[in-house]
Structure 1
Amino acid sequence: MKKRILTRFTAILFIIGLMAAIQYNTINEPNLRDTRDVWEIRQELAREKQLHSQLLSEIASLEDTLDKYGAAANASPEQALRETAGELRNAAGLSETTGPGIEVFVEPSLEAVAMGLEIAGISPDLLIRLNNEINRYNGLYVSIDGKRIINTTAIRDINGQTTVNTKPLETPPFSIKIISETMEDSEKLYNHLLASRILDDFYIDNLTMTVSEPQNELVIEAYDGAVDSNYLQASEGE
């Protein structure tokens, strides 16, 4: 009888001790520290501020479009619709675009050519990274090797070859055209690409990336594929 009571008492004490240990560890568990240095935090803050600025610019642009449409609709509804449709086609990449921009030339590195190394072409990951860098610095309209980039563009590997809009890229050399909203934005993008680490990534893949100086007028061709509208639905207004 005493042995049974002692066993139960021991079990109860074990459970109480285990719960106390768990509670102690929970209370005293240290918070995870942010191991980023000041420069990395500043870069993250700069990216967030830039994204915030872009969103504000887009909101202002949409509000301006609504104001113009409202004013024009009172005078000439048909003309307002035509102008709005043209602006939307241009924003979607379905029409030829002209504006201030820069051109990036992707070529085999001189060392690779001198050593007779085989140039396999640019990888999808590297091309996506470059496109993301362009988008971060106000690159509004982009064309890669004559292939217009739109919202539904896919950059992927198909049968061992990098494709854009399901069309294979030429083996370097080829060019990438980028149009920005203003000449100032093009200059900022130009300076950013010249100082970017992505230049080293290209060199590792036996490629070089040469950035032309900003131009006042650069022409980018229209998207020449079919836009998938299967999931779009028309709504009737009152």
Structure 2
Amino acid sequence: MKKVIHWKFTFILLIVGFMIAIQYNSMKTPEERDTRDIWTIRHELSTEKQFHSELLSEIRELDKTINTYKSLSDENTGKALAETVDNLYRQAGMTDVEGPGIVIEVRPSAESVAFGTPITGISPDLLTRFVNEVNRYNGFTLEIDGKRFTTLSSIRDINGITTVNGLNVSTPPFTMKIISASLTESEKMYNYLAASPIHDDFYLDNLLLDIRKPEASIEIRGFPEKLYNQYLKELPKGE
């Protein structure tokens, strides 16, 4: 009799242990919590809203172009196409631009010069972070060390040398230029960059950002390379 009771008791404990194991597995540690602070989240939200705003602006511009074509007669279609091509050339950075803006010099820090620290080129990551800071504002034109930077441009490390559009970026000192839509926008850009923590990132790499006061007129050269059409072909007249 005692053996039967002992066996039943063992069986009950086995069931209870099995149920506890199932309950434990069903109450696993929840997924890792988002530990970002409110300001980090607000910053990411602001970036996404800005990106959304840029997309809406591009959609409005495309809708405007389509409506322009629809409202034109056959005689004016060619003129509208030529204006569109010129606008695309400007967006691609193929034309020279002149307007209000700021000039920024990247140079070695005074401490690195005093201690004889070897001067190295700017890293791709640091240059990319600077471009991201500038991207907070719309409607600007950027030149890095004489190289036009557009949405089609790339910043890469090629054989240990930082390049923009495949061209080597000079070892500091070198200059960067930013042209804005108006002098007021240039002043906003100047104030933002002057207070930006990007200065700390440059200082850690023994570099300084010398941001000059906004100027009423500076010039940025167009991208020197020509665009070649590989796929589109012009139809003969009458087709």
CA distance in 1, matches of 2:32, 2:161: 43
Aligned-partner SS, 1:76: helix
User: Do structure 1's residue 168 and structure 2's residue 168 form an aligned pair?
Assistant: yes
Query: Is the Cα contact below 8 Å between 1:137 and 1:188 reproduced in 2?
Result: no
Aligned-partner SS, 1:101: strand
Alpha-carbon deviations, 1:6-34, whole Å to 9, x = none? 877665544333222223x15xx557554
Query: Is the Cα contact below 8 Å between 1:98 and 1:220 reproduced in 2?
Result: yes
> CA 1:117–1:17 in 2, change beyond 3 Å: closer, same or farther?
closer
> CA 1:133–1:85 in 2, change beyond 3 Å: closer, same or farther?
same
CA distance in 2, matches of 1:148, 1:114: 33
Alpha-carbon deviations, 1:60-108, whole Å to 9, x = none? 3333333444445555111111111000011011222223322211111
The two structures have a TM-score, normalised by structure 2, of 0.80
CA distance in 2, matches of 1:72, 1:212: 46
User: Do structure 1's residue 149 and structure 2's residue 149 form an aligned pair?
Assistant: yes
Deviation at 1:176, TM superposition (A): 0.9
Query: Is the Cα contact below 8 Å between 2:92 and 2:152 reproduced in 1?
Result: no
Q: Report the equivalent of 1:52.
A: 52
Query: Is the Cα contact below 8 Å between 2:143 and 2:178 reproduced in 1?
Result: yes
CA distance in 2, matches of 1:32, 1:121: 39
> CA 1:137–1:82 in 2, change beyond 3 Å: closer, same or farther?
same
Deviation at 1:143, TM superposition (A): 1.2
Deviation at 1:114, TM superposition (A): 2.2
Q: Report the equivalent of 2:22.
A: 19
CA distance in 1, matches of 2:66, 2:141: 22
Alpha-carbon RMSD:
3.2
Aligned residues: 232
Mapping of 1:77-96 within 5 angstroms?
77-96=77-96
> CA 1:62–1:181 in 2, change beyond 3 Å: closer, same or farther?
farther
CA distance in 1, matches of 2:20, 2:192: 59
Aligned-partner SS, 2:102: strand
> CA 1:228–1:8 in 2, change beyond 3 Å: closer, same or farther?
farther
User: Do structure 1's residue 186 and structure 2's residue 189 form an aligned pair?
Assistant: no
Q: Report the equivalent of 2:117.
A: 117
Query: Is the Cα contact below 8 Å between 1:103 and 1:175 reproduced in 2?
Result: yes
Alpha-carbon deviations, 1:84-137, whole Å to 9, x = none? 100001101122222332221111112222222211121111001101111122
Which consecutive unaligned segments of at least 5 residues does structure 1 have? none
CA distance in 2, matches of 1:117, 1:20: 62
> CA 1:72–1:84 in 2, change beyond 3 Å: closer, same or farther?
farther
Q: Report the equivalent of 1:223.
A: 223
CA distance in 2, matches of 1:168, 1:43: 32
The two structures have a TM-score, normalised by structure 1, of 0.80
Deviation at 1:39, TM superposition (A): 3.3
Larger Rg over CA atoms: 2
Q: Report the equivalent of 1:62.
A: 62
Which consecutive unaligned segments of at least 5 residues does structure 2 have? none
User: Do structure 1's residue 134 and structure 2's residue 134 form an aligned pair?
Assistant: yes
**Paired amino acid for 1:121:** G
